[in-house]
Amino acid sequence: MTTVGVCGLGLGINLAYYLASVGKKVVGVDIDKRTFQEPSPKADADLDAYKRLESVKQNLVGFSDKFEYLASCEYIMVYVTTPREDGRLSLKNVEDAIQATNEHNSTATYLVLSTLPMGGMERLHRLFPRRRILYCPPMAREGQFVETFRRPPSGWQLVGTEKQLTEMLDIVGLYRSILAKEVTVILVDDVVVEAVKLVTNLMLAVNLIMANNMGSWLGDPVIVERVCSIVNAYPGVGKGYFTPGGKASEPGLERDLAELLNASEPSALAEIVRVLNKLNGTGELVKVLTPSPPT
> Between 242 and 59, whose confidence is greater?
59
Reference 10, options 37, 38, 42, 32; nearest CA is 42
- Domain spans of the chain, in order of start: 3-188, 196-279
For range 140-162, the mean pLDDT: 91
Q: What is the CATH number that goes with domain 3-188?
A: 3.40.50.720
Mean pLDDT of the region 212-240:
81
Percent of the chain surpassing pLDDT 90:
58
Does the global pTM surpass 0.75?
yes
* pLDDT above 90: residue 292: no
- The answer to whether 121 and 196 are in contact (CB under 8 A) is no
Q: What percent of the chain has pLDDT over 70?
A: 89
Measured distance CA(15)–CA(13) in Å, rounded:
5
Beta strands in the chain (DSSP E): 3-7, 25-29, 60-64, 75-78, 84-85, 88-89, 109-112, 132-135, 156-160, 184-188
| β-bridge pairing 109-112 and 132-135 | parallel
Average pLDDT over residues 226-251: 72
53-62, 128-137, 235-244: least confidently modelled range? 235-244
Q: Average the pLDDT over each of 9-23, 191-205, 244-258 and give the range with the smallest value.
A: 244-258
Higher pLDDT, 221 or 122: 122
Q: Which CATH class, in words, describes the domain spanning 196-279?
A: mainly alpha
Residue 6 and residue 26 in contact, taking contact as beta carbons nearer than 8 Å: yes
- Name the least confident of 107-111, 199-203, 232-236: 232-236
* C-alpha torsion sign, points 32, 28, 138, 150: negative
Spatial contact of 253 and 204, defined as CB atoms under 8 Å apart? yes
Nearest to 91 by CA among 133, 120, 129: 120
62 burial (CB, 10 Å; 0-12 / 13-18 / 19+) is exposed
Burial-class residue 26 by CB neighbours within 10 Å (0-12, 13-18, 19+): buried
In this prediction, residue 295 has a pLDDT band, given cuts at 50, 70 and 90, of very low
Predicted confidence band of residue 245 (pLDDT cuts 50, 70, 90): low
pLDDT in tens, 74-96: 999 999 999 988 878 999 999 99
